Amino acid sequence: MHKPDNSTPHSSDTYDRQIRMTIPYNDDIHAEILRFVKIQSPSPNTWLDTGCGTGMFIRKAQLIFPDTEFFIADPSEGMLTKARETLEGCRYSLVGCCGTADIPGTTDCRFDVITAIQCHHYLSQEERNTAVRACHSLLDDNGFFITSENIRPFSDEGITRSLSYWGAFQRQAGRTRDEVRDHLNRFDHEYFPITVAEHLKCYHDAGFSVVEILWLSYLQGVFWCRK
């Protein structure tokens, strides 16, 4: 059943456990993003995680980047409450309870790194474009925007077979048939994936100088962009 405290079908209290049963390689994707930043921008001064969810990703990041000043934002009060628990004892600033497109009006800070992990696929194409442009405007020159998102296969058969493949992973991970069915039925109804080509165009159109793919698996993709 859909929980009311965020846009996902999982309550904030169970999200971290449930997402590992839903998204293949979830923790590996986090690790790859952190490894990429460590190599490309070893000592970022400022880092914004928009759509921060439970704060788990930033808790991992703080272990690797202890001198970085972290900022978080999320449109869900429930997720932010959980993030405060997760990040207890960590050094971070809360930008606000807001979506990505609302952040420019809430801070004058510019960031070396912005991450947006599994949050923009709930937006329409126009809203997604606005959110990505906001990330571009919030970055310092040569800063990195890294996003992990659902991706859409190119054909109807591709969608059918990919959803079947994804469903098999979720069943093997321990989800019930009803849970898998309900999650896959959200495709194009509660979240709105776009193709790899559409992702790349969105980031190019936002003004990024460099746009590349970091990771693809099942129906998830990770992209990095440099301002």
Does residue 187 have a pLDDT over 70?
A: yes
Give the range of the structural domain holding residue 50, as residue numbers without chain letter.
15-154+192-226
* φ, ψ dihedrals at 218, nearest 5°: 50, -115
**What integer pLDDT is reported at residue 2 of this predicted model?**
43
Does residue 94 have a pLDDT over 50?
A: yes
**What integer pLDDT is reported at residue 203 of this predicted model?**
98
Quick check: is 6 in a domain? no
**What integer pLDDT is reported at residue 149 of this predicted model?**
95
Domain count, the chain: 1
Please report, for the domain that includes residue 85, its CATH number.
Answer: 3.40.50.150
Quick check: is 219 in a domain? yes
The neighbouring-strand residues paired with 210 are 226
Quick check: is 178 in a domain? no
Q: Read off the pLDDT of residues 67-89 as tens digits, 9 standing for 90 and up.
A: 999 999 999 999 999 999 999 99
Percent of residues, the chain, with pLDDT higher than 70: 91
Quick check: is 166 in a domain? no
Tell me the pLDDT band of 19, cut-offs 50, 70 and 90. confident
Task: Name the pTM for this structure.
Answer: 0.91
Q: Read off the pLDDT of residues 191-217 as tens digits, 9 standing for 90 and up.
A: 999 999 999 999 999 999 999 999 998
Mean pLDDT of the chain: 92
Quick check: is 214 in a domain? yes
Arithmetic mean of pLDDT, 105-114: 80
Does residue 7 have a pLDDT over 70?
A: no
Those residues whose C-beta lies under 8 Å from the C-beta of residue 171, and which sit 6 or more positions away, are 177, 180
Arithmetic mean of pLDDT, 56-61: 96
Quick check: is 127 in a domain? yes
Arithmetic mean of pLDDT, 136-152: 96
Q: How far apart are the first and last CA of the chain?
A: 40
**What integer pLDDT is reported at residue 107 of this predicted model?**
58
Burial of 148 (0-12, 13-18, 19+ CB in 10 A): buried
Quick check: is 54 in a domain? yes
Quick check: is 112 in a domain? yes
